[in-house]
Chain A
Amino acid sequence: MTANAIEAHGLVKIFGRQRAVDGVDLTVPAGSIFGILGPNGAGKTTTLRMLLGILDPDEGTRTLLGTDHPLDVARRVGYLPEERGLYPSMKAYDAIAFMGALRGLPLAEGRRRGRAMLEEHGLGKAADKEVRTLSKGMAQTVQLLGTLVHDPELIVLDEPFSGLDALNQAKLERMIRAQAARGVTVIFSTHVIAHAERLCERIAIIAGGKVPFAGSVSQARDRLRPQVRLETRALDGPWRAALPADAVPEGHFWHFTLPETGVEPLLRALIEGEAGILSLSIERPGLHDAFVAIAGADAARQLEEDQQQESADA
């Protein structure tokens, strides 16, 4: 296995006059869970399609499991596209087997595994039903199982949580973690920050076809300084001069960014100035705050709208 499951440098894709993807660099370490986070239309799907070889990049290079011809390693890759699709007249277990067969798994073995996987996920009774008769959630599960049936080393999921209810989202999160625990690399795109924050070791934030940040979730959060929440008994006094310039009062509370010098000098000044410290908490910024800071307010607003839209659709 190569050290990096995916490497991409300067990927560009132009549709008409629009640069849908504009110089994307990505490195996905093997065995990690990697999230591509961004609002709809940011270039997530186009990037994934280029990585998988469905689209050829107009500029830039990419390697997938060590090759620059992604179809050469198709047997080692599983892919769940954003737009789910199955042959409606196929039986559930056969649909799983067919997706495995496309990636080199013998049909008979695929059928055997398909039945077993459906059973394992509580869909044993649906195995012999035609896809057209399944509920949307069941059909999505069938497609996901078809993505995994051939035991891929790399799983690429495009908006996998989209359209799932909370229960199935939790199930999918468990499934992703289980795959990662087996050493499988999982890369998924999402516009829901919470999924990326809960699951991913590393993320890439994408907006307007560019990747302004790629690294660990922790590194993203470290882009912002922690926020301090101070409660004092006294409302005024010489100690106020020790507070940072961005300190905002709210009754007996003060909110401000942790100074670069740390909290100790500030505490000393507050104690000496008899501010009467009732409480002090330091909050590390969440990924959402980091996203706003990195991608900009417009991208963050769109991300929130996408999430609200999806909640309404669900």
Chain B
Amino acid sequence: MPELLRASWVIARRDFAAIIFSKAFFFFLLGPIFPLAIGIAAGSIGGQVARDIDRSSFALVMAGADSAAMLQARTALAEQLGEQRVPVLVAVETDDPESVIASGRDTRYLGVLTGNLANPRLIGTQAEIDRWQGPLELLIERARQGEGAAPVRIATRIVTESSGSVEQGRLMTAQVGQALLVLLTMLLAGMVLSNLVEEKTNKIIEILAAAVPIDAIFLGKLFAMLGMAMIGITCWAALAVSAILLAASGLPALPTPAIGWPAFLALGIAYFAMAYLLLGSLFLGIGAMATTVREVQTLSMPVTMGQLIFFFLASFSVTRLGEPIELFAAIFPFSSPFAMLARAAQQDVLWQHLVALGWQAFWVLVLIRFGARLFRRNVLKSGGGKRGLIASMFTRG
């Protein structure tokens, strides 16, 4: 075992240095900035579009007093319920209300509210009437009451938490934590796929295979990639926190997880490492079978799909704590880190995480061993005599 670790260290050190001191690593660090920039741009454009759409409103074709009462009622209700929940009214003077929304007109009214307060009439498509009839009736009701109708105000007393809010909050922490874990693993673990291509392309694999066990090559490569991923995450996290603090908006306040923030963060790091190693060892084994970069690219799609299945399994189970599906997600090695992190947010039980981490580590070793045997058998063409693939996992060499 010490020799295996020593050899792994030699491989990991070489790979880590080769990655960190390459120009490509700089672009890797910049990677998340591109989707972030695209997200901000898309959000900005989307917001603009939404604002444009929000300007669409109802034409108000009523007599002067009724029209004024309606507009006054609208202002009052918007204050109480929020601007988005109350339709915008634009007073329009016309003898032919229906012509206001006739096709070809350069207006963007959803419909026309006409008649008077006693006998109002709404003109519009079925969809808009279904959607806005209720709020407009509320407005008319308010307008009928006139200025004298003061809005009811409920006296409030604020408590720090309620049983419902704690549960909801922890669920949110679980979901956010899980989503972040999945996202990072998906982004980073797929890179392991192409990790042995360099050795095969440059014919170095034979030198390595003659000097150290294949298991050590796999282990070393995985830990080098994990180290690189950790550096990336640290940089991105530091950048995100700095940006938030600079924007003076303060860190977003997620509800405290059941196990507490320090333990939750420590478990988050541990589960990320395990998720990365589990998926990475699988991908390394699959990728090692590929002989060219093109083959690796072809493998990327099914591998990404596979990751999504684990994510769906874990996220489906997050609201079903203790149910069979959630237990399965916690035990199944590839979804276990995600499911267990969600548990950490919702349950104050530490021992189960130690068991889970041990279980996941066991599977990492099994997968590395299996991948190494597969590599020896299929790539190095070392059949190992008449032994089967599984049997060869329990032999030396």
Say yes or no: is B262 at the interface (Cβ < 8 Å to chain A): no
Measured CB to CB, the closest approach of chain A to B125, in angstroms, equals 65
Known: A54-B382, A55-B382, A69-B396. A87 touches B213 (CB 8 A): no
Known: A55-B382, A56-B382. A85 touches B203 (CB 8 A): yes
Known: A53-B397, A59-B385, A69-B397. A102 touches B206 (CB 8 A): no
Q: A79-B207, A83-B206, A89-B22 are in contact. List 13 more A-B contacts (CB 8 A).
A: A54-B206, A54-B210, A54-B382, A55-B381, A56-B382, A69-B397, A71-B397, A74-B212, A79-B210, A81-B207, A85-B202, A87-B198, A104-B6
| Mask: chain A, 70-111; 1 = CB below 8 Å from B; 0 = not | 010010010101011111111000000011011110010000
- CB of A56 within 8 A of CB of B383, answer yes
- CB of B202 within 8 A of CB of A87, answer yes
Nearest opposing residue in chain A for B386, CB measure: A58
Number of interface residues, chain A, beta carbon within 8 A: 32
- CB of B202 within 8 A of CB of A102, answer no
Residues of chain A contacted by B210 (CB below 8 angstroms): 49, 52-54, 74, 77, 79, 81
- CB of A79 within 8 A of CB of B202, answer no
Nearest opposing residue in chain B for A53, CB measure: B397
Measured CB to CB, the closest approach of chain A to B162, in angstroms, equals 59
Residues of chain A contacted by B382 (CB below 8 angstroms): 54-56
Tell me the dominant secondary structure on chain A's binding face: loop
Say yes or no: is A35 at the interface (Cβ < 8 Å to chain B): no
Interface residues of B in 340-378 (CB under 8 A from A): 376
Interface residues of B in 170-217 (CB under 8 A from A): 198-199, 202-213
How many angstroms from the CA of A201 to the CA of B307 in the assembled complex?
59
Say yes or no: is A31 at the interface (Cβ < 8 Å to chain B): no
Say yes or no: is B380 at the interface (Cβ < 8 Å to chain A): yes
- CB of A85 within 8 A of CB of B204, answer yes
Residues of chain B contacted by A14 (CB below 8 angstroms): 383
Known: A53-B397, A54-B209. A101 touches B10 (CB 8 A): yes
Say yes or no: is B18 at the interface (Cβ < 8 Å to chain A): yes
- CB of B381 within 8 A of CB of A81, answer no
Residues of chain B contacted by A81 (CB below 8 angstroms): 203, 206-207, 210
- CB of B14 within 8 A of CB of A56, answer no
Measured CB to CB, the closest approach of chain A to B383, in angstroms, equals 6
How many angstroms from the CA of A92 to the CA of B127 in the assembled complex?
74
Measured CB to CB, the closest approach of chain B to A122, in angstroms, equals 24
Residues of chain B contacted by A101 (CB below 8 angstroms): 10
Interface residues of A in 184-236 (CB under 8 A from B): none
Residues of chain A contacted by B6 (CB below 8 angstroms): 104
Nearest opposing residue in chain B for A85, CB measure: B203
| Mask: chain B, 376-394; 1 = CB below 8 Å from A; 0 = not | 1000111111100000000
18 contacts between A and B (CB under 8 A): A15-B381, A53-B210, A54-B206, A54-B380, A57-B385, A58-B383, A71-B397, A74-B212, A79-B210, A81-B206, A81-B210, A83-B206, A85-B203, A85-B206, A87-B14, A89-B22, A101-B10, A102-B212
Measured CB to CB, the closest approach of chain A to B196, in angstroms, equals 13
Nearest opposing residue in chain A for B212, CB measure: A102
Smallest CB-CB A-B distances: 9 pairs: A85-B203, A102-B211, A85-B204, A83-B203, A55-B382, A81-B206, A56-B384, A79-B210, A101-B10
Nearest opposing residue in chain B for A55, CB measure: B382
Residues of chain A contacted by B279 (CB below 8 angstroms): none
How many angstroms from the CA of A59 to the CA of B383 in the assembled complex?
11
How many angstroms from the CA of A190 to the CA of B211 in the assembled complex?
22
Contact of B202 among A59, A71, A88 (CB under 8 A): A88
Residues of chain A contacted by B207 (CB below 8 angstroms): 79, 81, 85, 99, 102
Residues of chain A contacted by B212 (CB below 8 angstroms): 71, 74, 102
- CB of B397 within 8 A of CB of A56, answer yes
Residues of chain A contacted by B62 (CB below 8 angstroms): none
Say yes or no: is B7 at the interface (Cβ < 8 Å to chain A): yes
| Mask: chain B, 82-119; 1 = CB below 8 Å from A; 0 = not | 00000000000000000000000000000000000000
How many angstroms from the CA of A45 to the CA of B18 in the assembled complex?
30
Residues of chain A contacted by B18 (CB below 8 angstroms): 87, 89-90
Measured CB to CB, the closest approach of chain B to A261, in angstroms, equals 52
Known: A56-B397, A85-B203, A86-B202. A102 touches B208 (CB 8 A): yes
